[in-house]
Amino acid sequence: MLEYADPTDVKRSGGEKKNAFTKFLASGRYPLEQRIEDKKRGIGRQRIPFVTWALTIAMTGVIIWELVRNAQEQGSPISLKPVVNPMFGPSSSALINLGARYPACMKLVKDIPPTLLQPCLNNTANPPDRFCTTEELCGFGGFHGEEPSQWFRFITPIFLHAGIIHFLLNMLGQWFLSAQIEREMGSAGFIITYFAAGIFGNVLGGNFALVGIPSVGASGAIMGTLAVTWVDLIAHWKYHYRPVRQLIFMFIELLISIAIGYIPCKSFSSCPYSPCLLAHIGGFVMGLLVGIVFYPIISVTKRHRIISWTFKLAAIPLAVILFVVLTRNFYTSDPYAACTGCRYLSCIPTSSNNHCQGYAVLLCYLYISNCSPSFSL
């Protein structure tokens, strides 16, 4: 992690405060020496991380609603039957109904058509005795006789969590990491980076993760803010205290974050329950690209300024191309055909998951028990 001091209200030369437009452009009309000193002290564009606070409040309200919804359907806020959700949260069916990333609700999936019967939200039996169609499970008014098209599921999973433990872990990272990045970047650049990373994480996961597992979590977005710390360290290498040591710790932190996303599938009633590594990777990559564009970089020399602007100008089209290509691939082709090995980034092949074939979890739903959701730590 970066070694920031607590931000304080420092007056600029002449006692004048920067207006919002100046803050957004990050140039600041105060001496370069003062900007460098502020950088060393961790003082950014603003003191209060308004967006981070708002996101945390919104996600708190959503996790409460998840638990209430599960209690309405199963009689308990935490899914206890037919399996226990180890994250202390709702069932997979409830998460799908509330807006989890679930390809069968977003496009026509051959193995999970809209008419296929799956366990209802209120099912507590093993094997299941209450069935609903995929269309009923997806909710939000159904598909009106057309193909599934709930595109908003690239966005809504950012606000959903697999349970109380998952929620607390993500909010811990968001409160300490994302909040500081917002102070550094300003709310405008931060909110663009946060949602670009979160959405792209879901786009990447939607393309190559197992199609039968619903996925939720803000980790892609939080990984995007982690990527911004790399932009900061590399761009301001000489202004950081012991940058080599910081780089080593940040590299270890990144490896841990990736490792968490590749925890071997745990077996609960023979059903896989694993985080989505692809959301972590997608969020980090998009966070790097968008962070390069919006992070306020201090350039003392002309050479440094040219290099910075070269990366900025290259990052914009690359980010757009990644979004367009992968979104198009999700809707128009078989993602597994484009990358046959990508499914193994979020699944360790075993007999219980049909060796990571996309419909394995569906069989688990129908014949074994209710399955636990995929989540992003």
Instruction: For the chain, report the end-to-end CA distance as a whole number of angstroms.
Output: 17
Q: What are the pLDDT digits (tens) for 66-97?
A: 999 999 999 999 988 888 888 899 988 899 99
The predicted model gives 241-247 an average pLDDT of 86
The predicted model gives 351-370 an average pLDDT of 50
pLDDT of 179 higher than 90? yes
Q: Which pTM value belongs to this model?
A: 0.82
pLDDT of residue 356: 66
What distances in angstroms separate CA 7 from CA 40, 128, 161, 168, 243, one per listed residue? 11, 54, 30, 25, 20
Cα 167 to Cα 1: distance, rounded to the nearest angstrom: 21
CA Rg, the chain, in Å?
A: 22
Instruction: Identify which has the larger pLDDT, 362 or 89.
Output: 89
pLDDT of residue 246: 86
E-only strand ranges, the chain: 117-119, 131-133, 215-216, 266-268, 271-273, 374-375
Fold of 42-375: Rhomboid-like fold (1.20.1540)
Active-site position among 187, 219, 369, 372 = 219
Please state the domain extents for the chain: 42-375
pLDDT of residue 178: 94
The neighbour count for residue 315, using CB atoms within 10 Å, is 19
- Token match 């841990």: residue? 256
The predicted model gives 100-104 an average pLDDT of 92
Residues in the chain: 377
**pLDDT bucket at 101, cuts 50 / 70 / 90:** very high
Least confident range from 7-16, 149-158, 352-361: namely 7-16
Exposed, middle or buried, 143 (CB in 10 Å: 0-12/13-18/19+)? middle
**pLDDT bucket at 7, cuts 50 / 70 / 90:** very low
What distances in angstroms separate CA 347 from CA 111, 114, 272, 275, 351, one per listed residue? 18, 25, 9, 9, 12
Return the percentage of the chain with pLDDT > 90, whole number. 44
Q: Is 355 a catalytic residue?
A: no
pLDDT of 251 higher than 60? yes
**Single-letter amino acid, residue 337:** A
**pLDDT bucket at 5, cuts 50 / 70 / 90:** very low
Instruction: Identify which has the larger pLDDT, 257 or 301.
Output: 301
pLDDT of 226 higher than 90? yes
Q: What is the mean pLDDT of the chain?
A: 80
Could you say which DSSP state residue 26 is in? T
pLDDT of residue 64: 97
Instruction: Identify which has the larger pLDDT, 235 or 44.
Output: 235
What distances in angstroms separate CA 343 from CA 157, 204, 241, 337, 352, one per listed residue? 20, 11, 40, 11, 15
What distances in angstroms separate CA 314 from CA 254, 286, 293, 309, one per listed residue? 24, 13, 9, 8
- Could you give the residue ranges of the DSSP H alpha helices within 161-237? 164-173, 179-185, 187-208, 219-235
Pair 211, 112: CB distance under 8 Å: yes
What distances in angstroms separate CA 146 from CA 106, 112, 214, 216, one per listed residue? 11, 15, 21, 25
Q: Is 219 a catalytic residue?
A: yes
| Planar angle of CA 360, 124, 349, nearest 5 degrees | 20
- Token match 């757009």: residue? 320
Cα 241 to Cα 285: distance, rounded to the nearest angstrom: 26
Cα 170 to Cα 161: distance, rounded to the nearest angstrom: 9
Tell me the two tokens of residue 228.
């911004």
Partners of 275 in beta bridges: 375
**Single-letter amino acid, residue 82:** P
Partners of 374 in beta bridges: 215
Pair 269, 369: CB distance under 8 Å: yes
pLDDT of residue 270: 32
**pLDDT bucket at 372, cuts 50 / 70 / 90:** very low
Q: Which of 44, 1, 2 is nearest to 24 (CA)?
A: 44
What SS3 class is residue 246? helix
Cα 37 to Cα 42: distance, rounded to the nearest angstrom: 9
What SS3 class is residue 340? coil
pLDDT of residue 374: 54
Active-site position among 240, 257, 280, 374 = 280
**pLDDT bucket at 332, cuts 50 / 70 / 90:** confident
Half-sphere exposure of 338 (CA within 13 A, CB side): 15
